[in-house]
Amino acid sequence: MTTKSNHSDEQAFTIIEILVVVVIIGILASIVVISFNSTLTKSRISKAKADIENIDKAMNAYKIDVGELPPRGDCCSACACGTWAAWGQTQWDRAIEALRSNDGANWSGPYLKSAIPQDPWGHFYCYDDNDVNSNCGDSYLISAGPNGVWEGGGGDDIRLTVTYRPESGCY
């Protein structure tokens, strides 16, 4: 009695075919991940710009009412950045708090509804206060950007000039 094997009718994938499929799936997954990361970075940049623009509007409204940018009476030329020395966080807190609550003359806020403690990458924004009453020193709001490194407003930093001085022609 002869038995006939059915193995000749069966088809199977070779190891090469399986490897090709795995490589193609890996390439497609890489493309999706890269695309997602790019979109995520762009949305974080947009969020940082929106935060900075909101703080800018609040600071200019404060300036129109009070006469200078917060924190009132401060004319330092160093950044008030939370990631720098402890005084930097204190300066940032003072600036934001001045926009949220104050009982000073001509203050008619709150100019900012909530605190904005960190940028989308988890770093504190920088407020470089150069608001000297008689000069045209520019004040800046800065995010260190995606790389988290302060580059003086350059590199991938996100920076906005805050100073608004219509009486002296400075913006």
For 26-48, write each residue's pLDDT tens digit: 999 999 998 888 888 899 999 99
The residue range of the domain holding 120 is: 69-171
Average pLDDT over residues 110-136: 74
pLDDT on residue 124: 80
| Domain presence at residue 110 | yes
Q: Rounded to whole angstroms, how far apart are CA atoms 61 and 99?
A: 9
Query: Does the reported pTM lie above 0.85?
Result: no
Contact 150, 126 (CB under 8 A): yes
**Count of the separate structural domains present in the chain:** 1
Average pLDDT over residues 101-109: 78
Q: How far is CA 134 from the centre of its chain?
A: 31
| Domain presence at residue 22 | no
| Domain presence at residue 45 | no
| Domain presence at residue 157 | yes
| Domain presence at residue 44 | no
| Domain presence at residue 146 | yes
| Domain presence at residue 39 | no
Contact 140, 132 (CB under 8 A): no
| Domain presence at residue 13 | no
